Structure formats: C-alpha cells, structure tokens
Amino acid sequence: MAEAYYLHVTDKLRDVLLTDDTAWVNDNGKLPAERELAQRFETTRVTLRQALAQLEGEGRIHRSNRRGWFVSPKRLEYDPTRDAGFNDYVRDQGRLPRTEVLSVSTSSHPPAAKALGLVADQTFYHIRRRRYVDERAVLVESLWVVPERAPGLLDERFDFSLWKLLREKWNLRLSHRSISMVSEALQGADARELGVAAGTAGLNICRTILDGDQRPVEYDEEHWLHDALSIRVELKQHR
C-alpha cells in the first residue's frame, strides 16, 4: 500500500510537470521547495522524495547543486539509422549546439584499435570535447582518428564538425558505421566534466567508422547525461 501511494503522488506530480502552470514551475523551470510540495500534495517528505526520485530516474526533473529541483529540458532525439552530425540534428530540433575542445593529443587506445581492426599500439589523433545544447553541457566525447587517413589533422580547429572536416579536407567517405549504445554509470573525468556525481546514470554511444574502401577512419565514444537524449527509430514493416 505504501508503494501504491507514492506512485499516486508520482502520477500527480508528473501531471503537474506536463502543464505549464506557473503556480508549479517558475520561469527558470524550478519547482517549489520540497516542504512546500509536500504540503500541496498533502503527503510526507519521505513519500514526496520517493516520487521525486522516480521522476528523476525517468529524466523528467534533475537536481541542481543546493538550488533545488528543476524540470529537465525536452530530450534531444537521435536516430541512429540516420546518424546525422551533432550540429545538424540539434539545429533540426530548434536547439542551439556548441562544442568546446577539452584536449588534443596523440596517443594509443587499445579499445579503439581493436574496434578498427588495428594493432593494439596503433597511434591515434585523440580529440576530447564537451558539447552543449542550449548552453547545457550534455555530453563529453573522445574521438580517435587514424593519422594515415587525415595527415596534419591536429593543425585544424575542432569546435565544429569533425566529420565535415574529414569529408571536405581529406575527401573521406564515412561509409561504414557500426554504432553501439549502452546505458552506463558515469565515472571519473566523464562525470566531473558533466558536473554530476560519480555513479549518475548516463548513455554511452560508440561508433566505429570505415571509409568507402573499408579502411579504418575513426572511433568515437560519447558519454551523455541520461536525461538529455532519446534514441528513436521508426519502423514500417510488412510482415
């Protein structure tokens, strides 16, 4: 019975979030304080917190350091069957993309080498970036590019589309892509660079990219905030 009741409060709170009622959510997307929410729903703080945790798990609200609970922005939608570039699919959804370069180096990375079918000590150009949607940091990513495919790449700027650069400057066709997506718990540098606690739920997207002649070009790994992205596929089949 206790559980049924907390789910009842969760449902009521979820309904409130789906309206634009400013009695509940202020212009900054902030919810009233927990004490006030508990009063409005005529429930205890314990039950209220269960409901808030449920909605946080669903990605509908998030906590901001000591400033309380906020409604999470609408999730971006990503269709892996199209695999458009970040800037394109963010803009197509009426949102503002931005990319910040965190580091550029040359290094080996055995998982990238393995995915691309190269020897374990293969050297890569390694670019690490943080990406924003409407000025909220939503992902950090590492890109490992095979130097033979794009000699001199490290002299370029990386705060725009890498794929566009590879296509336009090195005439590479990014034809074969294997995309793998798993849920993860964000740890270490990934969590810190996204401003969340270690262990926070995240989404990991890895791509292995070969060119039109099946030569290895790039391996990349994105770590997303769990509430920022929805993977979406539409199927029309005739079975």
Give me the residues that bind its own copies (CB under 8 A), please.
3, 6-7, 50, 53-54, 56-59, 75, 80-81, 83, 167, 173-189, 198-199, 201-204, 212, 224, 226-227, 229-239
Nearest to 194 by CA among 136, 125, 114, 109: 136
Please, what is the minimum distance in Å from the beta carbon of residue 238 to its own copies? Answer: 6
Nearest to 203 by CA among 174, 232, 177, 175: 232
Nearer residue to its own copies within complex by CB, 91 or 177: 177
Query: Between helices 2-18 and 45-57, what is the axis angle to 10°?
Result: 60
Nearer residue to its own copies within complex by CB, 39 or 82: 82
Please, what is the minimum distance in Å from the beta carbon of residue 232 to its own copies? Answer: 5
Parallel, antiparallel or unpaired: strands 61-64 and 68-71: antiparallel
Please, what is the minimum distance in Å from the beta carbon of residue 76 to its own copies? Answer: 11
Measured CA to CA, the distance from residue 222 to residue 65 in angstroms comes to: 24
Token pair belonging to 69: 């609970």
Please, what is the minimum distance in Å from the beta carbon of residue 27 to its own copies? Answer: 26
Parallel, antiparallel or unpaired: strands 216-225 and 136-145: antiparallel
Nearest to 15 by CA among 62, 60, 64: 60
Nearer residue to its own copies within complex by CB, 23 or 233: 233
- Residue ranges with strand state E in 27-134: 61-64, 68-71, 76-78, 97-108, 123-133
Nearer residue to its own copies within complex by CB, 104 or 179: 179
Please, what is the minimum distance in Å from the beta carbon of residue 180 to its own copies? Answer: 5
Please, what is the minimum distance in Å from the beta carbon of residue 44 to its own copies? Answer: 16
Whether residue 48 contacts residue 37, with contact meaning beta carbons closer than 8 Å, is answered with: yes
Nearer residue to its own copies within complex by CB, 21 or 27: 21
Nearer residue to its own copies within complex by CB, 117 or 199: 199
